Amino acid sequence: MTNKVTIVGSINVDRILQIDQLPQSGETIRMQDFSIAAGGKGANQAVAAARSGAQTSFIGAVGQDLDGQMMLNKLRDNQVNTNAIEVMNSSATGQAYILLQATGQNSIIISAGANADVSADQVKANQALIIQADFVMAQFETPLAATIQAFEIAQANRTITILNPAPATAALSEELLQLTDIIVPNETEAANLTGIEITNETSMRAAADKFFALGVKVVIITLGSRGVFMARAGFDKIIPAVTVTAVDTTAAGDTFIGSLASELHADFSNLEAAIVYANRASALTVQKLGAFPSIPTRAEVVASI
């Protein structure tokens, strides 16, 4: 059965600056190479879900500019339904400036642009996309009010909510977490939201318990090269990562979440298997440069197993 996934999220054009290492204060360095790619956490997750076979729709915004048209075309090329993406006259399309080091690690600077214009009213006007979905996903690159509206609609209609609390923030919205079924932070994001430093399995369980107390049903903490910590009430486990040589970690987490949503059953009965699949997809992503260009198809993920 094909999962239906709706994303409320961000759309960015990634400008990738390849450098040996980050500059020190006051230092001028040379750039080794420069490239432009489609990206944005929401858009990456949508493409990951679609390439893994999910019927995918998107609620978001772009500017009335060449970047916006490019992003709409890229999403459509990946069979993402873009009917609920608004084109804003007064805002430019979101931008991400990615400082990609030779190690494959990156630092990212974001200009929200039209992403900041995504509103609760826009979500409500497109609520049919949420009501008919199996999963609705959101991140922190669009306004909180829009995400809360989406999750309220989802909860009222038995659509599973998935929250990727990124970029990291120290603001804990209990209202949003009470509407969240699955939360997928990395270690830093989990620590920022719970106040618990993630150092070992004991601290991961403590963070998960804090999320459970607010109504979250499933906690998935991504641990980079160490794998993924998954927890449901009364059960937790670390699922190892796939060992590969990273070229560019951009979109690795987004690929994990999008492919997870394409694979997961609504009753969570195949949670561990879905995480293993998502781990495989993420491992393929880090072996290529860029966001959209690196996200694998279902066939590629299955072939890697």
Active site members: 254
CB burial string 35-45: b at 16+ within 10 A, e below: eebbbbbbbbb
Residue 17 CA, distance from chain mean position = 22
Q: Say if residue 279 carries a ligand binding annotation.
A: yes
**CB 205 within 8 Å of CB 177:** no
The Cβ of residue 232 has, within 10 Å, a number of other Cβ atoms equal to 17
Q: Say if residue 304 carries a ligand binding annotation.
A: no
Q: Say if residue 224 carries a ligand binding annotation.
A: yes
Q: Say if residue 57 carries a ligand binding annotation.
A: no
Q: Say if residue 203 carries a ligand binding annotation.
A: no
DSSP strand pairing (135-138 vs 4-8) = parallel
Q: Say if residue 223 carries a ligand binding annotation.
A: yes
Q: Say if residue 60 carries a ligand binding annotation.
A: no
Q: Say if residue 12 carries a ligand binding annotation.
A: yes
Q: Give the dihedral of Cα atoms 289, 164, 259, 219; nearest 10 deg.
A: 130
Q: Say if residue 68 carries a ligand binding annotation.
A: no
- Residues contacting residue 300 through CB under 8 Å, at least 6 positions apart: 284
For CA atoms 277, 39, 207, 202, the dihedral sign is: positive
* Binding site per annotation, positions: 12-14, 40-44, 141, 186, 222-227, 248, 250, 253-254, 279, 285, 288, 290, 294
Q: Give the annotated binding-site residues for ATP.
A: 186, 222-227, 253-254, 279
Task: Point out the annotated binding site for K(+).
Answer: 248, 250, 285, 288, 290, 294
Binding-site residue set for substrate: 12-14, 40-44, 141, 254
